[in-house]
């Protein structure tokens, strides 16, 4: 039997969440890599046309170089 410590519980939660997230993320017509200005505009226009779009950004915020400080 597996010990139920905080790390084990967290791993199980993340595995279940990622399974659902990946299943939904893969059910799209277009995947956009990058949340910079071009990716955001492309996503906006595609979504307005009714195309199922998913935007992936590696950072916690979108905007790309427009967000520099």
Q: Per residue in 7-54, pLDDT tens?
A: 888 888 888 887 777 777 678 888 889 888 899 999 999 999 999 988
pLDDT(59) > 90: no
Q: What pLDDT does 13 receive?
A: 85
66, 37 in Cβ contact below 8 A? yes
Q: What pLDDT does 2 receive?
A: 63
pLDDT(66) > 70: no
Q: Give the predicted TM-score (pTM) of the model.
A: 0.58
Q: Which two tokens stand for residue 56?
A: 């992936």
Closest CA relative to residue 64, chosen from 44, 23, 34, 43: 34
Closest CA relative to residue 33, chosen from 68, 4, 62, 1: 62
């Amino acid at each position: 039997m597996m010990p139920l410590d905080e790390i084990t519980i967290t791993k199980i939660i993340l595995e279940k969440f990622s399974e659902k997230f990946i299943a939904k993320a893969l059910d799209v017509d277009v995947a956009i890599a990058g949340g910079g200005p071009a990716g955001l505009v492309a996503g906006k226009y595609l979504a307005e046309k009714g195309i199922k779009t998913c935007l992936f950004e590696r950072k916690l915020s979108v905007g790309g170089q427009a967000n520099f400080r």
